[in-house]
Amino acid sequence: MYDAAEHRMKVYQTATSGGRHKGTYNDALKKSNAQLWKSFQSHMRQVEMHQDKISHPEQYAPDWDNWDAVRRMGLIRVWRKHLRDNYDKALIEQSVLEERFNESA
């Protein structure tokens, strides 16, 4: 079963230790709270958009109905990757914001 809190912790720990998305983490540390919040919202909008693309590919891919299964699955795979990347980046930014507010409390 998917555990969102566990996933968030894993993504954040990987980024803070120099692994995947370390650039997102380093950039997040440099941003003001307002910039970070705006970036978080942007990533979440991208997540929603890619969820819609996966649910309704015919609205985003011209001639979807004429594509063969291999081409269709290839595009869905790309959209899923973009969804995951944006979601993970949003989680990192959210974690940085929470750390800032917990330190100032």
Rg (CA), the chain: 16
Domain count, the chain: 1
* Residue-range definition of the domain harbouring residue 100: 4-104
Query: Is residue 105 pLDDT above 80, yes or no?
Result: no
- Where residue 101 falls among pLDDT bands split at 50, 70, 90? confident
> pLDDT tens digits for 16-41?
999 999 999 999 999 999 999 999 99
For CA atoms 59, 62, 63, 68, give the dihedral sign: negative
Put residue 18 in one of left, alpha, beta given phi > 0 → left and psi -120 to 50 → alpha: left
Tell me, what's the pLDDT at 51?
98
Say which range, 10-14, 73-77, 79-83, 99-103, has the weakest mean pLDDT. Answer: 99-103
Residue 10: pLDDT above 60?
A: yes
